[in-house]
Amino acid sequence: MDVSRREFVTFCAAVGAALALPARVVAEALASPDKPAIIPLSFQACGGNSPSFKSALDLFAQAKGPTIALVEGSIPTKPSYCLVDGRPALDVAREVCGSAVATIALGNCASFGGLAAAHPNPTGAVGVAEAVPHAQNVINLPGCPANPENVTAVIVHYLTFGRWPDLDAQRRPLFAYGKLIHDACDRRAHYDAGQYVEQWGDDGHRAGYCLYKLGCKGPVTSHNCPNVRWNGGTSWTVAAGHPCLGCAEAKFWDAHSPFYEHLPGGVHASVDTIGAGAAGLVAAGVAVRGVVNAVRRMKAKDDADRD
């Protein structure tokens, strides 16, 4: 792998940020002679996870440890779809994932079926855990695509602590999916203040206001996008001015449509209530401050009269 020392250190720092580990610990884990060997599998997919694949594969190309299956794409359960060397994808997945020490499902398709599993799901597409129920240690990294830092972080966690990371109810590692995007969003302060983008390109959009009214699903989506970001930590969807579509959640193609309309009620209340509440709090704060200042002036006058 042709990677400079600077690039390697930067990558280790990004992975370490995801796991709250020093970059040095990550580098030592990646240099371990006991790194697992990775078998990549690609099924019904758009190919968007290939960069994440490559980042992990390059770092584990010469590994000779236990076998990990790295899966991209949904797995069809109906016959005659997605043949691999003439064999049904389902058979291949069951053979490889069934014998691996762990299976990492890259992206929403491999995790939950993704776009192929959206209604009416003509191929009977499912994620790895459903297709291969006997597979051990299935870890879902949903997103479109999966974040390469999170992919490597899962394996680094195993090499560092001797166990796979703790998972949520959807088999997603808590270090990457344990908090709502909404809670760490760059635009959260605008949400709390009731400042929303009303339409594409308006003054609020240019000023970085909250994208909730344009359909942002950050309040109902768990992922570390705001912290790890993309392209070496350069940016992420919401920072670039586009609402989150919730691609880290199961069945988001159906559950989050239409994509550019906000969900009723949001995470706490309707946007109108939030805006009104924020304005009310500001007004209340101004009123309280005025009363406090008035009391202080009266006390100062009384003290002056006594003197």
CATH number at residue 40: 3.40.50.700
| Domain stop point among 133, 153, 177 | 177
Find out whether 181 and 244 touch, Cβ atoms under 8 Å: yes
Residue located via tokens 């970001």: 229
Domain co-membership, 144 together with 212: no
Domain co-membership, 154 together with 202: no
Q: Which domain holds residue 29?
A: 5-177
pLDDT in tens, the chain (307 residues): 566 788 788 888 888 888 888 888 888 888 877 778 888 999 999 888 877 777 666 676 666 778 899 999 999 999 889 988 889 999 999 999 999 999 999 999 999 999 999 999 999 999 999 999 999 999 999 999 999 889 989 988 998 898 999 999 999 999 999 999 999 999 999 999 999 999 999 999 999 999 999 999 999 999 999 999 988 889 999 999 999 999 999 999 999 989 998 876 544 445 545 444 434 443 444 344 444 455 455 555 565 555 5
Domain co-membership, 95 together with 212: no
Cis peptide before 22 (omega within 30 of 0): no
**Helix (H) / strand (E) containing 68:** strand 67-72
pTM of the model: 0.81
Structural domain total, the chain = 2
Domain co-membership, 140 together with 28: yes
* Sequence-ordered list of residues with C-beta below 8 angstroms from that of 138, at least 6 positions apart, any chain: 97, 102, 103, 105, 128, 129, 132, 171
Domain co-membership, 258 together with 275: yes
